[in-house]
Amino acid sequence: DIVMTQSPDSLAVSLGERATINCKSSQSVLYSSNNKNYLAWYQQKPGQPPKLLIYWASTRESGVPDRFSGSGSGTDFTLTISSLQAEDVAVYYCQQFHSIPPVTFGGGTKVEIK
């Protein structure tokens, strides 16, 4: 199985400041035949199902604000919230879908307001 490791477990950021979440996979999730990284990011607010934010490591899902961006390739990835808003308080998960079964998720990063 591909193990996904997120850091930090939690972070507190002031409104309007940048939040950065890291995700590392135990094996590369880059598929050489199409040069795509099979890596997604989700946001989960309390009492709600997860919401897809980013896929192919850097493609923003339709309707997702452009303050959310993804970067990285191979085994190291980052989700950045450029200017944290109150509505961004949530837990964020990375997910690899390169090697299934199983799909695997990171342990989650809780983002709060400082």
Partner 1 sequence: EVQLVQSGAEVKKPGESLRISCKASGYSFISYWIGWVRQMPGKGLEWMGTIYPGDSDTRYSPSFQGQVTISADKSIGTAYLQWGSLKASDTAMYYCARPNHYGSAREPFDVWGQGTMVTVSS
Q: Which residues bind to partner 1, rule: CB under 8 A?
A: 1, 38, 40, 42, 44, 49-52, 55, 61, 93, 95, 97-98, 100-108
For partner 1, the closer CB: 70 or 81: 70
Nearer to partner 1, 13 or 40 (CB): 40
For residue 22, what are the β-bridge partners?
A: 7, 78
CB of 80 to partner 1, least distance (A): 18
For residue 25, the cross-strand partners are: 4
CA 51 to CA 55: how far, in whole Å? 11
First to last CA, the chain: 36
Nearer to partner 1 among residue 17 and residue 91 (C-beta) = 91
